[in-house]
Structure 1
Amino acid sequence: MTQQPFSRPGAIDLSALKRPAQSAPGAAAPGAPGATAGGAGGQATGAYTVEVDEQSFQSVLESSMTAPVVLVFYSPGRSPESADLARNVSTVAEEYDGRFLAGLVDIDASPQIAQAMQIQQVPLMYVLLDGRPVTQPIPSAPPIDELRAFFNQLGQQLTAQGIGGRHKPRTVEAPEGEEPVSDPRFAAADEALASGDVDTAVAEYEKLVAANPADTEAAAGLARAQLLKRTQGVDLNAARAAAAANPDDVEAQILVADLDLLGGHVEDAFARLVELVRRASGDERNAVREHLVALFAAVGNDDPRVLKGRQALANALF
């Protein structure tokens, strides 16, 4: 398959699409985290594959703002080879751990998308980035080895252009009676933590954050791993005694806050550092503030205790 260079044509015209129907409360939209991705007649599933319909098309386009989306148009009934292409693209995209997202469009089930994209035949494949096609449409179904070479060349082009974002994995529902599929991004870090190798876990999370600074889950994982690293081998009673004897010792207070958080005393940890922010000044005050923000990330920015902690920090600062 001939390599096609990236270009920057105009954005996709969505005017042919109807306004998406509202999902039932609590239901996951197709392609959203929590939905099962099944493509090419339900035969292609994975953490980086999504079956695209009118309701999910806009969110898939928005996903291309983070990293490329390989959009495949197929019709199982009219073109079996197009369904094969959909499955193969899904297979290859999964091998890249978020570098690409495979978006599979059954034009029989979603004719309005085909209309919006002016699809005249299948199979057809586009690569989208920043909401726009960045290659010419590819009207063929190359063998999977050629697809792998194509993806590899695209990855090299992305790296050369300084584009290093990655997609977050879609949650794939496990069959009844089986364990849920784990998040593949964190496999190496989880394995390191399970073996007690905190340094390696920190390094693995740092790689994920460097590849995609907007990945809040990876940032939270990094903050938790760093917390474990800071508190390794610390004597809790000695740390508390030192903090009690030196209430304005920033390092002593921060260490006890870390230990409190690790022990599940989240609000105590936050309150200790908020109070220290009130008393400290200059560089020390900024160091405490930054450490507290890191603890917020470790707990999770949507946690109600974090929301209260942020308000308390704002009050202490201003």
Structure 2
Amino acid sequence: MQPRNMSMSGVVDLAAVKAAGEAKAKAEQARAEAARQGGGAPGAVPPSALVIDLDEAGFEDVLQLSAEVPVVIDFWSERAPSSKELTTLLERLAVEANGRYVLARVDVDASPLLVQQFGIQGIPAVFAVVAGQALPLFQGPTPEPQVRETLDQLVQIAEQRFGLTGLVVDSAAEGAQAATPAPPGPYDALLEAAMTALDSGDLPGAVQAYKNVLADDPGHPEAKLGLAQAELLTRVQGANPQAVRAAAAADPKDVAAQMAAADLDMAGGHLEDAFGRLVDTVRVTAGEDRDAVRVRLLELFEVVGAEDPRVVAARTALARVLF
């Protein structure tokens, strides 16, 4: 099912987005199926290889591994409950990623040289190593949506810049198939409620209905797309376009003004203008302001869908600014 009556026909072809998502899912399924044939495809690794413990002695091995697959390095400690919570989340996401990256856990109390080498000032702290190059990802407690977006971007950078497509995982190994939970859902009733709310102009109701789906299945593609669009429509509702654009033109570093103008660009179907505006704003800001703009840009990517070539180009531009 797809959101309808969104008044955003110039922004995104929903059928194309759904088709792209289905094509990606089929590709992932074929990849997993190839790994299961004959007890695992050549070079396939067991699921246990996706999450490893790293110490100083094994760092050279990680550098070599990063030439095949991005390695996410998680610095944690038993003394820091927030770091343990993030580690648990990262472990789950690494398994979901199915070989797109490997998670390496570093106990900071047992590996002081690695802490010094990466310049860790506090935990939790998460880095990535891609083709031997270290990249900072985030530090401190981080909400799951931001973690997911950052890791998705890391995978795209690794594929586009370095040609790293990850590892093939033998999902049949170690009883992984028996342990795989049944997919959540179905969500027809909730998605229908969201569409009904949109039809009646009840944007808060639509937002909540999509959030109800995502609370149980954070990766649900139709719910993510619908929520992003409903939230965009909520933000532009009642806006004065002339006043918004005048404020944005007056101060390129005014984060609120630039985000409001980008929302109007998106609602009007000017995707490249919206993406370019926010990438430029990321370039000229820092700290919390910069992070707020980056998060809004990622939200706008959701409105269109990750497979859209305009999103791919904008992600590459954002990566150049950030890294």
Q: For this structure pair, what is the TM-score category when the shorter chain's length is used for normalisation?
A: 0.3 to 0.5
The structure showing larger relative contact order (alpha-carbon pairs under 8 Å, at least 6 residues apart) is 2
Larger Cα Rg: Structure 1 or Structure 2? 1
| TM-score for both structures, normalised by structure 1 | 0.45
